[in-house]
Amino acid sequence: MMSVFVLFLNGCSSSDPLTMQIDPVNVKAQMYTYSDLNKNQNELWEITHQYLMNHYEQHQTEIRVMDRANASFIGKGIVKWKISPTTPLYCYSAYDFRFMARDNKARLQLKLLPGVPSLSGCHDWELPSEYGYKQILDKFEAISTQLNHELIGED
């Protein structure tokens, strides 16, 4: 009887690997490089400053460093994700962002941080599920694409 109960519990606790919390070793910084921008360092800083002010206006974001002389920004953002496609609950994770520009080129780095922001309803999720991490990476890609459009002057 006990073995049947243990088997039942194991069956209930096993879940889809995509909905399990990712291993911290799988969290990698995402690096985006923009080149042939035909703008000087100061112009790239101005464009990025405007982008950050507009993009992060609606999001909880903290820009810790805005260094015009070195054309760099360092800060922290919040990203929303779901544990699984069937879960209605949204979770939140923090990420670091770093931006640096030189004449005609720039680089953006986005990296997910472990921990649970206070606004997250997922208090047991230090890191997202694999399904959630895929959503985050897609959002990072969208941020990069949007910034690239701004840097090259596309609408």
pLDDT higher than threshold 80 for residue 25: yes
What's the structural domain count of the chain?
Answer: 1
Measured between alpha carbons, how far is residue 101 from residues 27, 34, 52, 74 in Å?
25, 9, 14, 12
What CATH code is carried by the domain that includes residue 53?
A: 3.30.530.80
Q: Which long-range contacts (CB under 8 A, 24 or more apart) does 25-29 make?
A: 26/133, 27/111, 27/112, 27/114, 27/127, 27/133, 28/111, 29/109, 29/110, 29/111
Q: Rounded mean pLDDT of 28-42?
A: 97
In a domain? residue 7: no
Whether 15 maps to a domain, the answer reads no
Residue range(s) defining the domain that contains residue 42: 29-152
pLDDT, one tens digit per residue, over 91-146 is 999 999 999 999 999 999 999 999 988 777 788 899 999 999 999 999 999 999 99
* Lookup: tokens for 49: 């400053």
Each as own residue / partner, the long-range contacts of residues 52-56 (CB below 8 Å, 24 or more positions apart, any chain) are 52/99, 55/143, 55/146
Indicate whether 23 belongs to any domain: no
Distances (CA, A) of 8 to 11, 17, 132: 5, 19, 28
Q: Is residue 5 included in any domain, yes or no?
A: no
Cut 0.95: pTM above it? no
Q: Is residue 13 part of a domain?
A: no
Q: What is the pLDDT of residues 52-91, one digit of tens each?
A: 888 776 556 788 999 999 999 999 999 999 999 998 888 9
Q: Is position 95 within any domain?
A: yes
